[in-house]
Amino acid sequence: MPSKKKSVDAKNIAKTTVGDKSIGEYWEIAKLPVYVSIGLSVLSFLLVFGMGAVGLGITALIGLVALAVWLWLGWRAVKEFGCDLKSAAIAGAVGGVISGIVGAVITVVEFSALPGMMAGAYGAAYATMAGAAIVTSAIMAPIMGAIMGAILSLVGAFLAQNMK
């Protein structure tokens, strides 16, 4: 007996409805904060390569700023798009998946290039750790991006609704 399960193909994913909006509508809400998040990831990547160990400290600060981007997404969803808390959280999750995928790609590039730089200091141990980090990042970055994006966007939306 054939299954009545509804399938989603890649071409029509933007039209797929989640909650009360389509993925495409959530993307419109999340687009600007995601671009800012990706820009911060690229800046962090460039600092690590340009400044070495000093760049790592600055990268941690950029990471804190990146968390604020997700709060802004939730705030923006409520104030500019009139969303409720659920829609703001879903928009954060959609944005988190996309920025997580981009972050995973940046991590793969970063860890692929760094063994050559670090070989003199750490050698094979670093190469082994880099391989594990690449696999872990590729799997976990979109998942964690969605979770963090949803939670922080929900907090931002809650603040937007309750602050005058």
Counting the structural domains of the chain, the total is 1
Predicted confidence at residue 34, as pLDDT, reads 95
Question: Is there a domain that residue 82 lies in?
Answer: yes
Predicted confidence at residue 69, as pLDDT, reads 95
Question: Is there a domain that residue 32 lies in?
Answer: yes
Question: Is there a domain that residue 37 lies in?
Answer: yes
Q: Which 3 state secondary structure label does DSSP give 18?
A: strand
Mean predicted confidence (pLDDT) in 132-148: 86
Q: Within 13 A of 148's CA, how many CA atoms are on the CB side?
A: 20
Question: Is there a domain that residue 2 lies in?
Answer: no
pLDDT digits (tens, 9 = 90+) for 69-121: 999 999 999 999 999 999 999 999 999 999 999 988 887 777 766 655 555 55
Rg (CA), the chain: 18
Burial category of 60 from C-beta neighbours within 10 Å (exposed 0-12, middle 13-18, buried 19 and up) = exposed
Backbone angles phi, psi at 17, to 5 degrees: -90, 130
pTM exceeding the 0.85 threshold for the entire prediction: no
Domain that holds residue 32: 21-162
